[in-house]
């Protein structure tokens, strides 16, 4: 089983407009509200691929009640930790003409000490019974980077494979705790490590203790660097740009990493099997990420994902980075 942990989930609200004009009034089709947050979106992708998954998240207030009802109706197995504060909202406005999306994320309610402990204890307990744990998204006030690091360290010690998609001090804490894989985007990586070059930034995270780093680069695809090939690594991209709703692209990429870790636990090792698995991961992750852009809502893959996977170009990173 793969466990996804979403410390700061959201009720995702999505509207599509023909063309977004700042300052104008828009008449739009009825919007969609669904349970979201990065880890929930990862679970939704995996569930759609018929992969055994459990989504762990918090829920509180009126928005939390709607969040939980939608999660119940989705059929995704889940465990919800109740909190006193209201679950935050995330608003996505998709400009269909331009193929661009504006996203407005609320910060999220703080967790008190008891709520934070309940979430972390559930993650540790359920994680020890899982093959892979994906910890995704921002940390709400009350869940510190040190607490995230301790969770990752404990899961790794228990033999569970851990992938983390977060930013800032939490990203550094996960690396130092020995996370098997990290998935920052280009901006998150530069902010955390100070490297404009994603390969150099990825290597810096490997030096801290991570096993594998996959950096999402938007329309440019991704780079995948492991301890075994830190002097090189892989680039993967589509040879064309897709336009649509990119809000779930990174989550689809994390789903691909989690599925790969479930199939090849030692993905970062210096073996032929691991090297072949990293190449498959880079290709599939780029395809899943791209196919998510074609879907109206986050957490879904386009039926074209297999065809897109065949188009993906995977190349070795030049030795000039060594």
Q: List, by residue number, the catalytic residues.
A: 251
The conformation of residue 172, written as its DSSP 8-state character, comes to: H
User: How many C-beta neighbours within 10 Å does residue 115 have?
Assistant: 21
Taking alpha carbons only, the member of 203, 233, 232, 202 closest to residue 320 is 232
CA-based diameter of the chain, in Å? 58
Torsion of CA 263, 267, 269, 274, to 10 degrees: 70
Distance, in Å, from the CA atom of 213 to the CA atom of 236, rounded to the nearest integer, reads 13
Q: Which residues pair with 132 in a beta bridge?
A: 2, 161
Q: What tokens does 28 get?
A: 């739009």
Beta carbons of 27 and 60 less than 8 angstroms apart = no
- Tell me how far apart the alpha carbons of residues 88 and 106 are, in angstroms, rounded to a whole number: 6
User: Which residue is associated with the tokens 């902010």?
Assistant: 191
């Amino acid at each position: 089983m793969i466990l996804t942990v979403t410390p700061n989930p959201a009720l995702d609200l999505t509207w599509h407009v023909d063309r977004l004009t700042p300052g104008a009034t828009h008449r739009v089709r009825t919007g969609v509200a669904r349970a979201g947050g990065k880890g929930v979106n990862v679970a939704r992708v995996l569930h759609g691929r018929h992969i055994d998954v459990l989504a762990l998240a918090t829920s509180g207030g009126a928005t939390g009640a709607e969040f939980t009802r939608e999660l119940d109706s989705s059929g995704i197995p889940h465990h919800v930790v109740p909190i006193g504060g209201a679950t935050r909202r995330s608003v996505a406005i998709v400009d269909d003409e331009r193929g661009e999306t504006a996203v407005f994320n609320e910060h999220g309610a703080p967790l008190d000490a008891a709520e934070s402990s309940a979430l972390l204890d559930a993650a540790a307990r359920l994680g020890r019974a899982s093959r892979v744990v994906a910890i995704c998204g921002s940390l709400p006030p009350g869940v510190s980077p040190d607490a995230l690091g301790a969770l990752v360290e404990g899961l790794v010690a228990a033999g569970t494979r851990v992938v983390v998609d977060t930013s800032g001090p939490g990203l550094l804490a996960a690396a130092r705790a020995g996370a098997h894989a990290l998935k920052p985007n280009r901006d998150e990586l530069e902010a955390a490590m100070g490297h404009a070059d994603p390969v150099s930034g990825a290597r810096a995270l490997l030096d801290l203790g991570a096993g594998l780093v996959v950096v999402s680069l938007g329309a440019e695809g991704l780079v995948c660097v492991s301890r075994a090939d830190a002097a090189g690594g892989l680039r993967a991209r589509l040879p064309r740009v897709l336009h649509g709703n990119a809000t779930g692209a990174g989550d689809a990429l994390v789903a691909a990493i989690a599925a790969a870790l479930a199939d090849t636990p030692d993905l970062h090792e210096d073996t032929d099997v691991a090297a072949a698995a990293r190449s498959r991961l880079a290709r599939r992750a780029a395809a899943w990420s791209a196919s998510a852009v074609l879907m109206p809502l986050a957490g879904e893959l386009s039926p074209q994902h297999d065809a897109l996977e065949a188009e993906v170009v995977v190349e070795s990173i030049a030795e000039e980075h060594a």
